[in-house]
Amino acid sequence: MYSFFKKYAPCSARRCAAASPGPARRHAAPPPRRPAAPPPRGPAAPPRRRLVRPACSPGSSGAEGGGAAGRGAATALLAGARARARALGARALAARALGRGAMAKRAAAGAAGAAGAAGAAGAGAGAGAGAAGAGAGAGSPRKRAKKFVAPKGPMARGHTPRGEPPAGGAGRLKVVAWNLAGLRAALKPEKAEILQRVVEAERPDILCISEHKLQTQHVPDVEKALAEVLPGYTAHWTVSTAKKGYAGVAALVRSAAPGGPAASAAAKKQDFFKKASQKKPEASGEGGLRPKVFAGVGAGLPGGAANAAWYNEEGRCLTLELPELFVVTAYVPNAGTDLKRLNERIGEWEAGMNDYLAALDALKPVVYIGDLNVAHQDRDIWNCGAPHVPKSAGTSPEERAAFPQLLARGFADSFRHFHPDADGCFTYWSQRANNRPVNKGLRIDYAVVSRRLLPGQGAATGAPVVFDAFHLDRECVGLSDHCAVGVSLALK
């Protein structure tokens, strides 16, 4: 009898529970309790709805009562999740009203998560995102700057047709400047062929070389090599005495007609360390030029001497005086890593050179040519919007603002005069980044001229006229990380 009662007592208890709702509650398993939601930080959230566990209806079986209790527990959990989603959504709306954008984002994210758990993630996420956006607008936070995206693929180069000389039998003068980043390396056979090809194609009257990196003892041997590669030119030098294998500029002046005999041995053996001859510059004879040459900023003025400044000890400037004009070639100091030399570059070099050029311009027109180490306009920088550009040498705001100060003193950027809207016209490309094949570079080499040399400016004074300003970026590939730039003038 005891075993019988033990076996069937649970069923009878469930039948009793079906007949009497009170006792059945002791045997029905209560639904699991979830931890209470934390109190809202904003306005009070709506009160939680009290959940009532459904009891078995009278007359139903025990199995049916247990199933109803399970369904009731699931319904209660779902209702609780939806209630919490509504509460978090209310918090987001309250945060929007108070202008607390950050709180609105957190509340909206919580609302989206709770709604997803309840089976309505899409609708909850949309409402939360709208509330967060409105809250952020009400709070007026600082706008996040757009991230710079570098252009993909090669950069197109603008069309820059070469200028034609004016009609008539006037003489012409072509000046070309090229940063070779080491002249001895440029005279090695594989690179000397490129140098020779460019010079033979352009036939410049004056070829200015920047950053030759020679020391005094190197010059005689390099002159012999140059005479073999570029016959018919006389070399004038200034070298760095402050640092070995550093900076330095040179000017190769045509001493014979293109294709004619080479310069005389006496001309080649001139001592470039002595002061320039005090004779007046002679006009071209038998197709050659005999300029008066001065080394250093300040040396080309009447009775003047080179400034006692650090940049003259680095061999950065040569001045050639011709009967019609001055040609000043320079290798402008780089501001350096982390712009360490920026103050020296702006406060000393720019001030000294600008005054020097203005003083020369008061005597004769000036052609100022070479590696000027500054990218003036935005179109002169391939990645102008990149965040590192203002912190880099040659593209800092201070250097770019100093260039127009020179132009304001009566000078003009000859290339931009003829090609003001040409994009993708660069003169330097990083070899480390292999930017030359995709044309991603900087325009930092210039031919700046006195404004009265431009067409229509100096007709009344009889000054020479610039008719062409050009970049040789397609012709100079393979020798240096710079290309040659030049200017052509018609002499009266």
- The active-site residue out of 331, 356, 368, 428 is 331
CA–CA dist 354, 367 (Å, integer) = 13
Ramachandran bin of 247, using left for φ above 0, alpha for ψ from -120 to 50, beta for the remaining angles = left
- The active-site residue out of 371, 380, 413, 473 is 371
What is the per-residue burial (b if ≥16 Cβ within 10 Å, else e) of 278-316?
Answer: eeebeebeeebbbbbbbbbbbbbeeeeebbebebbebbb
Closest CA relative to residue 450, chosen from 400, 402, 399, 487: 487
Q: Do the beta carbons of residue 83 and residue 115 sit within 8 Å?
A: no
Render 433-472 in DSSP notation, one character per residue: TT-TTTT-EE--EEEEEEGGGSTTTSTTTT--EEEEEEE-
* The two structure tokens encoding residue 75: 């319904």
Does residue 233 have an active-site annotation?
no
Hunting for tokens 């995709």 — which residue is that?
438
Render 59-71 in DSSP notation, one character per residue: T--HHHHHHHHHH
CA–CA dist 292, 344 (Å, integer) = 29
As a residue count, the chain comes to 492
* The two structure tokens encoding residue 325: 């004009």
CA–CA dist 76, 155 (Å, integer) = 64
CA terminus-to-terminus distance, the chain? 138
DSSP 8-class letter at 476: -
CA–CA dist 259, 253 (Å, integer) = 14
Does residue 331 have an active-site annotation?
yes
Catalytic residue set: 331, 371
